[in-house]
Amino acid sequence: MKKTLYLPMLLFPLFLGAQQNMNDAQYQAIESKVIAWRHDFHQHPELGNREFKTAEKIAAHLRNLGLEVQTGVAHTGVVGVLKGEQPGKVVALRADIDALPVTERNDLAFRSEVTSEFLGEKVGVMHACGHDTHTAILMGVAELLSQNRDKIKGTVKFIFQPSEEGPPPGEEGGALLMVKEGVLKNPDVDAIFGLHINSQTPVGVLRYKSGGAMAAAQEFTINVKGKQSHGSQPWSGVDPILISAKIIDGLQTIISRETDLTNEAAVITVGKIKSGVRFNIIPEDAEMLGTIRTLDYGMKELINRRMMEMVPAIAKAYGGEATISIKDATDITYNNPALVEQMLPTLQRVAGAENVKNSKAITGAEDFSYFQREVPGFFFFLGGMTPGTAESFPHHTPDFMIDDAGMLLGVKAITELTLDYLTAGN
């Protein structure tokens, strides 16, 4: 269950008008390193649960900084612990480290040429979601904080998480496995911060939302059983393709006619359907795969229940049978309102109040949500688009690109959030 964080109201404006914990010279000195690390990770991406070389580089860096380092967490994750010179609370900082099975298509000097195997196929591998920037940013934060232990009133736990995009079939992984293995324990974490760079938000801008910020993602599988027959004699069989079409249509009525979309957005998408082998044969069965996105726990429960009721009922109405299974992929990315209110002045100080935007929730998903389910967390977006760009390419595409100039603000934001949180908590 999510923990609610209660803080005295007088703490919230504590940092308004305050000076940065680090001076600009310290931040400027780390920027070139962060960019170089990012280029290296981008040029040598690795898929989820296979981030072996990435993990080695991270662990070596943290050891050189004098941190306590644990490797092999959730297969390939790395955790570093930095103890300040003064006692206090424990704050966790998370970066995801995995890449995607996408073939890069641009003219960057550090473009990925890596290929690998995914689901039995040879694929290109690319940091098409910006995890390379997250990793480099957190390495920069670790270096700055390790050089300023006297400013740390408590402990900082650096979590470099593998497989955010989901583990390979048949494997566990990601934030859920890290939590299961106790990454938020020993020392016990009081709060966690994370960011995600965004290719369609201008450099210098931060976006956030209190409460439900990103959707819970679920995967569903529907298997339809019909009766095979000749395509010229449909009356002698039961058509699973027709039944599948009726099911798809019915599922959309759950969203359009049964879900209160004035509360939050919700989505049901069928992304794959497989059936049949020949143009003139009505097949015996069909399989559909899809995703559900919800931003409210009550709506999630309603949609799941109605899907479980509707799918077999529609199939039966047309003479067939159907089963459905639903599996959680991520929870709702829920930004603890009290933590957001406490730390918002820090972001406004770092980026300028006019550059910190309160945004609407999105139906994209993040497994950072599994950390937030255990401890109060704050997850926000960092601008990575060159201002004035005519066209910016979305995440998970071959043309995805990030402006290196956006990363320094990420370093500043996470560093200042960490120190301000630990100062306020003591």
pLDDT, tens digit, for every residue of 81-128?
A: 999 999 999 999 999 999 999 999 999 999 999 999 998 999 999 999
- The tokens describing 203, both together, are 């450099």
pLDDT, tens digit, for every residue of 207-235?
A: 999 999 999 999 999 999 999 999 999 99
Sequence-distant (≥ 6) Cβ neighbours of residue 104 within 8 angstroms: 111, 112, 113, 124, 126, 128, 398
When pLDDT is averaged across residues 153-166 and rounded to a whole number, the result is 97
pLDDT, tens digit, for every residue of 342-373?
A: 999 999 999 999 999 999 999 999 999 999 99
Q: Cα–Cα distance between 58 and 55 in angstroms, integer? A: 5
Domains of the chain plus CATH, in order, are 9-215+332-424 (3.40.630.10), 218-329 (3.30.70.360)
Confidence of residue 14 (pLDDT cuts 50, 70, 90): very low
When pLDDT is averaged across residues 194-218 and rounded to a whole number, the result is 97
Q: Are the CB atoms for 327 and 172 separated by under 8 Å?
A: no
Sequence-distant (≥ 6) Cβ neighbours of residue 106 within 8 angstroms: 398, 399, 401
pTM for the whole structure: 0.89
pLDDT score recorded for residue 426: 60
Which of 8-17, 233-242, 314-323, 413-422 has the lowest average pLDDT?
Answer: 8-17
Q: Cα–Cα distance between 20 and 194 in angstroms, integer? A: 19
Name the residues annotated as catalytic.
98, 164
pLDDT score recorded for residue 19: 81
pLDDT above 60 for 4: no
When pLDDT is averaged across residues 166-175 and rounded to a whole number, the result is 94
Amino acid at 248: I
Residue 47 φ then ψ, to 5°: -75, 165
Name beta bridge partners: 272.
289
Name beta bridge partners: 334.
212
Name beta bridge partners: 287.
223, 274
pLDDT above 80 for 18: no
Confidence of residue 390 (pLDDT cuts 50, 70, 90): confident
